[in-house]
Amino acid sequence: MPRTAQRFHEDPGLQPERTVLSWGRTMLALCTAAAIFLRWLPTHGPFVLALFGLAACTAIGIYTTQQARYRRGSVGISNEHVEPDAVAVVVTSTAVVALGVLGLVTVVVF
């Protein structure tokens, strides 16, 4: 059977779809955090814009790489060899730790 957009892989567990959904939840959480940071603006001043920018840029980065991530997972399942996306995990983890540190600095210092 030829591969089409509807049948790109033969995974009964739909692993690529679950992975994309989890990255989508991460993106939604970052957008929510960015909105909360904007609410801090009157209280903590313009330093909060750094928090907002980091959260928004990380969410945009996840959004722009979703299609490639799905395709890579689907092709990997078809080839029976899936490479982990370690770079995306490290970048996202670093951004979240940086958001936490900057959030503490904002609350304690400003």
| pLDDT band at residue 53 under the 50/70/90 scheme | very high
Q: What is the DSSP track for 41-110?
A: HHHH-TTHHHHHHHHHHHHHHHHHHHHHHHHHHHHHHHTT-----HHHHHHHHHHHHHHHHHHHHHHHH-
| pLDDT band at residue 94 under the 50/70/90 scheme | very high
On the question of pLDDT at 31 being above 80, the answer is yes
pLDDT at residue 61, as a whole number: 93
pLDDT at residue 8, as a whole number: 60
pLDDT at residue 14, as a whole number: 67
Number of neighbours of residue 24 by Cβ within 10 angstroms: 13
What would the two tokens of residue 26 be?
A: 């991460």
pLDDT digits (tens, 9 = 90+) for 33-47: 999 999 999 998 899
pLDDT digits (tens, 9 = 90+) for 1-17: 445 445 565 655 567 77
pLDDT digits (tens, 9 = 90+) for 54-83: 999 999 999 998 888 888 877 877 777 878
* pTM recorded for the entire structure: 0.75
